[in-house]
Chain A
């Protein structure tokens, strides 16, 4: 089976840095994605990792360790608009191109 775990909720302060962790157990592995979802809206793509290491994209960075089944999303210089749910999703190694999503982490950015 597939299992993806994320913290349910996090709170951080505007201007700070926050790290959202994700652990996964899947049948094979073919990439990990992070999406942002505001309430009532569709998810938007943030980042992709398939090899170990850090991928940086402006204020957002994502890290992957395949041996540990672990990833994190790092958000720097937090802004109020970053308040949203952050979804970790994995593409397994079965050839199926759908993504399996974690339950999401609701981030609340406070002034």
Chain B
């Protein structure tokens, strides 16, 4: 089945530093990947849609200059949290759907990255 790999699984960083999270589709191509964020005991909130070869589309309220997204190939998207602050501490999850898949093909999720900013 379709596999999405996300790295790192967890990261602790100091306030003011930047953190890069990678999302790879291992056995399929994805021109579009989605980045979600999940705070404790809350549901997944879509942050942005990552488009291969073009600019990402950000959801309302998500700062594009703070959450930099790069989708340079059909199998890799990266999310960089710049100048991280403690309120950015969250569970970040990427997802993708195989291109050419049927309408009922689900989103496949990476294992998530737990970011803690101290």
Interface residues of A (CB under 8 A from B): 30-31, 33, 35, 40-45, 48, 50, 87, 96-104, 106
Contacts and interface: CB of A to CB of B under 8 A. Distances in A.
Interface stretch (B13-21, B66-74, B75-83, B104-112): B104-112
A101 B32 CA distance: 18
* Secondary structure class of chain A's binding surface, majority of residues: loop
Interface residues of B, number: 24
Contacts of B45: 101
B104 to A, nearest CB: 5
Interface of B: 6, 32, 34, 36, 41-46, 49, 91, 93, 97, 103-104, 106-112, 114
Given A48-B106, A97-B32, A104 B111 contact: no
Contacts of A99: 34, 46, 107
Nearest to A33: B106
A97 B106 contact: no
Contacts of B32: 97
